[in-house]
């Protein structure tokens, strides 16, 4: 059986059209997956990259993020007993409080910090200790002028008695 040249062109056109349709579906699927990933990442609690953090603060943030899920805010967050014990959180007026060290540049405003519900002790040269309710911690991260945040490590003293 002989195939005419016009039939070969027709078969090639059908094949080419089918491949284009598959490529279009593939591109749509890949694009939708990428967009979904971008949206999910924006909704998660992320640390701003213009502030540096010590390892203890990063561990706290990772634990909070895992417990809070992919929420945009910590407004209704209550820490687990594990987080309270591991990071030495304490309760004050029914709120769990985080305390640590904060370093800031000249653009930092103590008033802006206090608006978040936190308190500071100023040691000069842009060095502070802070206390803030854990459910306001995400608001603190967006205050202009903060350059570094550190949390202390929990210590367990073992005293030998004589």
> pLDDT by residue (tens digit) across 41-89?
444 578 999 999 999 999 999 999 899 886 778 888 999 999 999 998 9
pLDDT at 116 over 80: yes
Is there a single domain that holds both residue 27 and residue 107? no
Examine the domain organization and report whether 110 and 140 are in the same domain.
yes
Backbone angles phi, psi at 160, to 5 degrees: -80, 125
89: three-class secondary structure by DSSP: coil
Position 154 pLDDT exceeds 60: yes
Instruction: Give the separation between CA 92 and CA 154, rounded to whole angstroms.
Output: 19
In a domain, 156, yes or no: no
Rounded CA separation 64/23 (Å): 42
Within-domain flag for 38: yes
Q: Based on the fold, state whether residues 67 and 3 are members of the same structural domain.
A: no
Expressed as residue numbers, the domain containing 126 is: 52-150
Tell me which H or E stretch contains 98.
strand 95-104
Q: Are residues 141 and 94 in the same domain?
A: yes
160 in a structural domain: no
Domain tally for the chain? Answer: 2
Tokens 């078969």 sit on residue: 11
- The radius of gyration of the chain's CA atoms, rounded to the nearest angstrom, is 27
Shared domain check, 84 and 128 = yes
Does residue 56 share a domain with residue 39? no
Q: How far is CA 78 from CA 59, 73, 74, 131, in A?
A: 17, 12, 8, 16
Structure tokens at 27: 């591109």
pLDDT of residue 114: 95
Asked if 119 and 137 sit in the same domain, the reply is: yes
Predicted TM-score (pTM) of the model is 0.67
- Same domain for 126 and 57, yes or no, is yes
138 domain residue, yes or no: yes
């Amino acid at each position: 059986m002989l195939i005419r040249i016009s039939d070969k062109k027709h078969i090639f056109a059908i094949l080419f059209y089918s491949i284009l349709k598959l490529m279009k579906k593939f591109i749509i699927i890949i694009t939708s997956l990428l967009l979904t990933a971008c949206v999910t990442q924006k909704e998660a609690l992320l640390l701003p990259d213009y502030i540096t953090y010590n390892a203890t603060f990063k561990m706290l943030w990772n634990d909070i993020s895992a417990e809070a899920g992919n929420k945009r805010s910590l407004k209704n967050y209550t820490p687990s007993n594990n987080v309270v014990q591991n990071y030495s959180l304490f309760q004050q007026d029914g709120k769990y409080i985080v305390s640590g060290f904060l370093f800031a540049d000249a653009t930092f405003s103590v008033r802006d910090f206090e608006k978040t519900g936190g308190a500071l002790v100023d040691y000069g040269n842009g060095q502070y200790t802070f206390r803030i309710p854990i459910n306001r911690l995400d608001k603190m991260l967006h205050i202009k002028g903060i350059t570094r945040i550190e949390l202390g490590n929990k210590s367990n003293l073992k005293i030998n008695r004589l």
